[in-house]
Amino acid sequence: MLSLVAAVFANSMKRPAIPSFPAKDLFNSIEQMRKMTTLNAGQLLEMAKSVIPPLQYNKHKGQAGRVAVIGGCKEYTGAPYFAAISALKAGADLSHVFCTDEAAPVIKSYSPELIVHPVLDSDHSVEEILQWMPRFHSLIVGPGLGREEHILKTASAVIEQAKENKLPIVIDADGLFLVTQNPALIKGYTNAILTPNVAEFGRLYKKIFNKDPDPEEPVVTLKQLCRELGHVTIVHKGIHDIISNGDKVLTYSMHGSPRRCGGQGDLLSGSMGLFAVWAKWAQEENTKEGNSPPTYQHGMKAAYLACALTRECSRRAFEINGRSMTTTDMIVQIHSAFEYLFS
């Protein structure tokens, strides 16, 4: 128990004092503590170094990661922008957004750095997206996707092709709605990472098991769901983020901020989409070199690093902006948070 408490509050001397939650709010019982595994600051640093590729002068554009966001409709233009720009700011070389025709001019106006494709609602949307698929290293499906039937069918077809290409896929927001309607879409695909909040997790769990998850056993229910879905990685977001693939469990409990503005999950999914690429490459290299298998598979590593980055961005942005903090303020903090955590 003492080691867990030390891990949760590692680096506290480097950070401004933030009132801690009562232990009962962080964990429901001593038994829950035993079931969770939390990396301390030193272990996090070593895991990050094993995943993050060094910057080198002899590399060319695209070698550090090319990601694509599938999402963006008339009502929701901020979410795909936040996800795509977060991947870019975290270190991706190229970041694409596949959105509807109406959303494209708005998203383009947010940033000239993003490559925006207004094809998601076209009659030939699947064909137009799939012709780009060989260029991508990962997909982020769901931010601002909406729930229009044609668009959801397109997203399903894109996911199927991404599976054929063995791409890491991060699924969030309306992408989770799609998976809840059809869990077979990702079942058994271990390159998939789902990022549900409490409500989204509950709906998906009920779809699979025909009952609500036990709120007193978050780790148990998370592992059950991961296993039933074929060992996909799931990030159960909350006061503390719990990550599992059905076998192992990681938690990230360092405080972010008490501010709950919209868009923070998009920063998480965008950075996670990039980290999933880096972690997959690192694991493949590790296998080539004949090293022993890593303790945690690449999806869990990517999820853990993205959770850490998002919370640190939130903490820093809130320290400056307080109640007026927005996700845009968090994105400004990506560089300093990245350097603090991973350099």
Q: Pick out the residues of the known binding site for (6S)-NADPHX.
A: 144, 197-203, 266
Backbone angles phi, psi at 139, to 5 degrees: -125, 145
Give CA separation, 95 vs 52, 69, 115, 140, 195, in Å: 18, 8, 6, 11, 20
- The vertex-246 CA angle with 176 and 282, nearest 5°, equals 85
Binding site feature residues for ATP: 237-241, 256-265
Q: Is 168 exposed, middle or buried (0-12, 13-18, 19+ CB in 10 A)?
A: buried
Whether the Cβ atoms of residue 129 and residue 154 lie closer than 8 Å to each other = yes
- Cα-Cα-Cα-Cα dihedral sign, residues 144, 146, 151, 152: positive
Question: In this structure, which amino acid lies at residue 134?
Answer: P
Residue listed under structure tokens 């080198």:
56
User: 13 by DSSP, 3-state: which?
Assistant: helix
CB hemisphere CA count around 339 (13 angstroms)? 6
User: What is the C-alpha to C-alpha distance for residues 154 and 175, in angstroms, rounded to an integer?
Assistant: 11
- How far does the chain reach from its first CA to its final CA, in angstroms? 29
Whether residue 155 contacts residue 141, with contact meaning beta carbons closer than 8 Å, is answered with: yes
Q: Please provide residue 236's backbone torsions phi and psi, each rounded to the nearest 5 degrees.
A: -90, 100
User: Which residues participate in the annotated binding site?
Assistant: 144, 197-203, 237-241, 256-266
Tokens of 220: 């148990």
DSSP at 210: S
Q: Which helix (H) or strand (E) holds 298?
A: helix 298-321
